[in-house]
């Protein structure tokens, strides 16, 4: 079938909106009509070259839509199902899946980074030449063929734009609090970065009853936005940020510090901002090949814990419905997270707005 998609041909070149051929789903695959796709930094990393990927590629890894066809061997999904798309599908039987680390699934990680389906081929093409899929989804398009394991059915009462956010930003941020750090009620939390993931971390910290939630961002305009999501304090990023965090936390530093920016210098500052015995959680994706200087003497002597969080240490089949229920109960204010909406042909404008700041989460509606 013919589809419209946003294609990246090389780093530094804007997205091109053009028709592509999309093949029918094969064994274990599903055709989804994409309704909403989030504007996330991870896709921008393809544009900037911070993330290397085979090109041409259709980006888009935060999405939701409606199942329109299922391939052979697909039994748990039906035509008409509303699904949030999971960019880290899992097999359920490998070492990592059996140890409750499905986002690290050994079966899917290689083809996902190769930009193909499990069989090593693509379903996207242009004039007979392959076009690659980002994160197994390629949902900057009106339709996508994805692994059935990438589809998590949600109640149709959950709006599909909200389901799209659950597919990445919300699960990454809220999951970092609930699953990775397991933040305790009454704790002090500092969050570097007030974009979609950072705001989701703030929502997660509020959900578990953190006592003080300090948001930090380079843009002072993000202050009111961060407070509206549950931050008790806001600090503009600068040379005095760490000292300010310590003053707000009895001179010690925050119990938990979350990094949602993906820059080594910010990651290093997080180590200084966390108290002895505290935990730093790195949620931002740093450029491939970059390095972070985290001095071992301080980590050892002050018993500071540093951990990464990939997709909020989530089990999407368990966590997507949980976050959807919390949204329906009014405990996660996900409607507020959508600050701008765009058409697919406005995708370059959407990323310009994201880079200029002032956006919680942009969403492309198809």
pLDDT exceeds 90 at position 358: no
Please state the rounded mean pLDDT for residues 112-122.
95
Residues 198, 80: one domain? no
How far lies 97's CA from each of 70, 104, 106, 150, in Å?
Answer: 24, 8, 8, 14
Full-model pTM? 0.94
One domain, residues 188 and 262: yes
User: Residue 215: which CATH number?
Assistant: 3.40.50.720
| pLDDT given for residue 288 in this prediction | 77
Residue 65 has pLDDT above 80, yes or no: yes
Structure confidence by residue, pLDDT tens digits, 274-321: 999 999 999 998 887 788 888 888 999 999 999 999 999 999 999 999
Say if residue 128 is in the same domain as residue 37: yes
In a domain, 329, yes or no: no
Pair (146, 185) in one structural domain:
no
pLDDT per position as a tens digit, 156-211: 999 999 999 999 999 999 999 999 999 999 999 999 999 999 999 999 999 999 99
Number of domains in the chain: 2
Is residue 323 domain-resident? no
* Residue range(s) defining the domain that contains residue 226: 173-309
User: Are 225 and 288 in a shared domain?
Assistant: yes
Whether residues 199 and 296 fall in one domain = yes
In a domain, 326, yes or no: no
pLDDT tens digits, one per residue of 128-155: 999 999 999 999 999 999 999 999 999 9
CATH number reported for the structural domain that contains residue 59 in this entry: 3.90.180.10
């Amino acid at each position: 079938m013919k589809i419209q998609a946003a294609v990246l041909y090389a780093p530094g070149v804007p997205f091109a909106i053009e028709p592509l051929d999309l093949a029918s789903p094969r064994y274990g695959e599903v055709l989804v009509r994409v309704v909403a796709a989030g504007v996330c930094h991870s896709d921008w990393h393809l544009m900037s070259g911070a993330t290397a990927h085979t090109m041409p590629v259709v980006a888009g890894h935060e999405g939701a839509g409606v199942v329109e066809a299922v391939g052979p061997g697909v039994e748990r999904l039906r035509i008409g199902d509303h699904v949030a798309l999971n960019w880290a599908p899992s097999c359920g039987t490998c070492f990592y899946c059996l140890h409750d680390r499905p986002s690290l699934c050994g079966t899917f990680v290689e083809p996902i980074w190769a930009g193909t389906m499990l069989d090593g081929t693509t379903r996207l093409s242009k004039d007979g030449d392959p076009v690659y899929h980002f994160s197994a989804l390629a949902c900057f398009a009106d339709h996508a063929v994805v692994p059935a394991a990438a589809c998590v059915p949600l109640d149709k009462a959950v709006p599909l734009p909200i389901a799209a956010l659950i597919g990445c930003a919300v699960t990454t941020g809220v999951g970092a609090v609930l699953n990775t750090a397991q933040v305790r009620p009454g704790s002090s939390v500092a969050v570097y970065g007030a974009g979609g993931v950072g705001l989701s971390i703030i929502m997660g910290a509020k959900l578990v009853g953190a006592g003080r939630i300090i948001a930090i961002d380079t843009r002072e305009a993000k202050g009111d936005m961060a407070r509206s999501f549950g931050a008790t304090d806001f600090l503009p990023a600068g040379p005095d940020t760490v000292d300010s965090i310590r003053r707000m936390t009895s001179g010690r530093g925050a119990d938990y510090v979350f990094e949602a920016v993906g820059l080594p210098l910010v990651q290093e500052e997080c180590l200084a901002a966390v108290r002895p015995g505290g935990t730093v959680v790195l949620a931002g994706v740093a450029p491939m090949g970059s390095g972070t200087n985290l001095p071992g003497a301080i980590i050892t002597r002050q018993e500071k814990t540093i951990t990464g969080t990939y997709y909020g240490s989530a089990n999407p089949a368990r966590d997507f419905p949980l976050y959807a229920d919390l949204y329906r109960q009014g405990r996660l204010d996900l409607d507020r997270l959508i600050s701008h909406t765009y058409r697919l042909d406005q995708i370059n404008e959407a990323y310009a707005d994201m880079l200029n700041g002032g956006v919680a989460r942009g969403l492309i509606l198809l």
